[in-house]
A and B are shown apart, each in its own frame.
Chain A
Amino acid sequence: MTRQMTGAKMVVQALKDQGVDTVFGYPGGAVLPIYDEIFQQNGIRHYLVRHEQGAVHAAEGYARATGKPGVVLVTSGPGATNAVTGLTDALMDSIPIVVLTGQVPTFMIGSDAFQEADTVGITRPCTKHNWLVKDTDKLAGVVHEAFHVATSGRPGPVLVDIPKDVQFASGTYTEKAKVKVSHYQPQVKGDMETITQLVEAIETAERPIFYTGGGVINSGPAASQLLRELVDATGIPITSTLMGLGCYPASGKNWLGMLGMHGLYEANLAMHGCDLMINVGARFDDRITGRLDAFSPKSRKAHIDIDPSSINKVIRVDMPIIGDVGHVLEDVLKVWKARGRKVNKEAIQKWWQQIEQWRAVDCLKYKPSGKTIRPQHALDRLEQLTKGRDRYITTEVGQHQMWAAQYLGFEDPNRWMTSGGLGTMGYGTPASIGVQVAHPDALVINVAGEASWLMNMQEMGTAVQYRLPVKQFILNNERLGMVRQWQELLHGERYSHSWSEALPDFVKLAEAFGCKGILCQDPADLDDAIMEMLEYDGPVIFDCLVEKHENCFPMIPSGEPHNKMLLGEASTKDAIGSKGAVMV
């Protein structure tokens, strides 16, 4: 039986058939028929954002926190162009989202019509794939295919551009099951020969390390479980990129902490000194590798990645394994067990002794001040007071983001939402809204800097409207902290335009939005203020005035290798010049 319906109805029907119950969006002329259909049904809940960029970041937060694709509905022209930053963000961080945009009627395309933009042209480089649908009969099939492309292989954003006349016209609905399976079917099983090579390397390695990334999270909770099993059974130390935090628990015994430019001393020196590096779902980003010709010079490298273009893109590897992290880890475990669960125990024990020496440097050490709140201290207290709760953290971009990654502990995947690849200031507030929508009863905190937070603060209106009790934890240093830090370190302390002289009163701003504002500037009040935020049943803007000139350490100055880290207060001359550092 074929079903006839309008294009607008098809869109809603296709979303339902894909299991979608949540859409973030903003209406406008070219999507009115679809909004009319949304009005007349109950299966899909639509969240009205305040800016289209917010819709896409909210969908990213939703996707990251659930593992399901996020869905966005916006209008043509400015609606679509406002979505571009979010699309690029999702592309860089491999987040599955489906964006539906309205378009001017087909017969007006190319005439510079009102709110016309070449949406597929503009978004071609910032989507995994996009479609302009000119025929209502093809609309449902394209929407189904869009979900397939967004979620299979390396996930990413897709966009379907739907002209208004296509929404109005009637056509035949294509059932999900009847969509011709696209030839796009990425490989998920890894090559067994290379997997066996990797197992052999694990058996004999003296200084092995797991270097994990967002691919583990994208592969699903089962992949994190398999990773934990493999890491714990082999006793191999593990570090993770910013995107992979939570795939191995921060309380786990083999955990070294995050690596990279602001990663932990022990993690980076272990990467530099290892003899076997097992990259699981990470991509050798430049924030991780530092100077390429001095990156982990003595190691054999294995790289598990579902995207063939990630292999040998930046770092040449010895054991490339193309496949889904979950499938590959399952095979690695199977082969390793079948071959007798061997590891070079003695050597690994020595390796751990070395790592403990690095760890003794205590690179995150800081002295809390009695006068002003230090940002590290604020996050330390937030961690202590929220530990063990059903907690989700989003962040904006900058120093606070790095401090959050350093001082907060993540026990599970999908609990940490941050803009890694693109580094999008303004990501955190809408992302926290998307997470809260997915997990209404959970504690959702956006760790923010005041500058980033102002970029999408209008979304507090969304939080208030839908009673989403997101906590906006703003570390307010009245500076663009990371920019200021770079200017201090690299540009002769010439602080060119890196502070704001006219910040709003955040408490009054909170009241204006109809939510709660809390100001805290005395370290003695910090715990009580955080508790007040946690106990309030509604959205909170927490203005935490912190030390203005704090720098984020440790830090690898770019263009330097891992063993040339700068330490903050833990930096004694002994630490950097110690034998341990010389050894690697």
Chain B
Amino acid sequence: MSPLNIKKGSTKHSAYNLRPTFSDVQETHTLAVLVDNEPGVLARVIGLFSGRGYNIDSLTVAEVDHTGHTSRITIVTTGTPQVIEQIKAQLGRIVPVHEVHDLTVEGGSVERELALIKVEGSGDKRVEALRLADIFRAQVVDSTLESFVFQITGTPEKVDAFVDLMRPLGLVEVARTGVAALSRGV
């Protein structure tokens, strides 16, 4: 095709835009999504995220109204402002989704997470673990002579901090619920 001056074998052109043109500032948002509690609704929400390449940092779901059969899904997600807007619009398009709230922009929210943390150790380390648990207001929910299971509630950052402190003291495993969140005020 020499008259058109396209170099033979050129890979410059493609069937698609090969470079994204959006801003790359990443933001983390907490979304509350109210849905009909019907089979497959969680798969729809998760499928949306995986199908369109969005991130899920944390996701919790449970029925919150047993008579109306509605569930609340709390999703923490990270993306550019444009992607966050798309996520909200795409969630709103799912038929069993009633409401989508971006708690991060809607006047702030309280966020809490619960974690169970198993720590193994003896002697000074065991004492230190117990003392730190007291400072963090973590409760002991299981105890053997060589181990504790702590229950801690708080923001994800607080849980992270506590887990980091337990690591050198004999951390065995961690189970976290993910974030539950509500907007502040009414």
Could you tell me which A residues sit within 8 Å of B by CB distance? 120-121, 124-125, 128-129, 132, 149, 182-184, 286, 291-293, 307-309, 311-313, 316, 486, 488-493, 551, 557-560, 566, 571
Contacts and interface: CB of A to CB of B under 8 A. Distances in A.
B161 interface: no
Contact of A571 (B4, B15, B82, B85): B4
12 contacts: A149-B95, A184-B95, A286-B16, A308-B93, A312-B85, A312-B86, A490-B10, A490-B11, A490-B13, A492-B9, A557-B6, A559-B14
B170 interface: no
B46 to A, nearest CB: 10
A153 to B, nearest CB: 8
A489 B43 contact: no
Interface of B: 1, 3-4, 6, 8-18, 21, 39-40, 43-44, 47, 51, 82, 85-86, 89-90, 92-96, 98
Given A132-B39, A309-B92, A493 B85 contact: no
Nearest to A128: B95
Contact of B92 (A132, A291, A308, A558): A308
Given A308-B92, A489-B4, A558-B14, 12 more contacts: A128-B95, A182-B95, A184-B95, A307-B93, A309-B86, A311-B89, A488-B1, A489-B1, A490-B10, A490-B13, A490-B14, A560-B13
B13 A559 contact: yes
A309 B89 contact: yes
B95 to A, nearest CB: 4
Tell me the interface secondary structure of chain B in the complex.
loop
A149 B3 CA distance: 52
A558 B19 CA distance: 12
Contacts of A492: 8-9
A489 B6 contact: yes
Which 8 pairs, one residue from A and one from B, show the smallest C-beta to C-beta distance? Answer: A492-B9, A309-B89, A129-B95, A557-B13, A492-B8, A292-B21, A293-B21, A308-B89
Contacts of B10: 490
Contact of B17 (A182, A491, A551, A558): A558
Nearest to A182: B95
B89 A559 contact: no
Nearest to B95: A129
A286 B82 contact: no
Contacts of B14: 490, 558-559
Contact of A124 (B21, B47, B93): B47
B40 A120 contact: yes
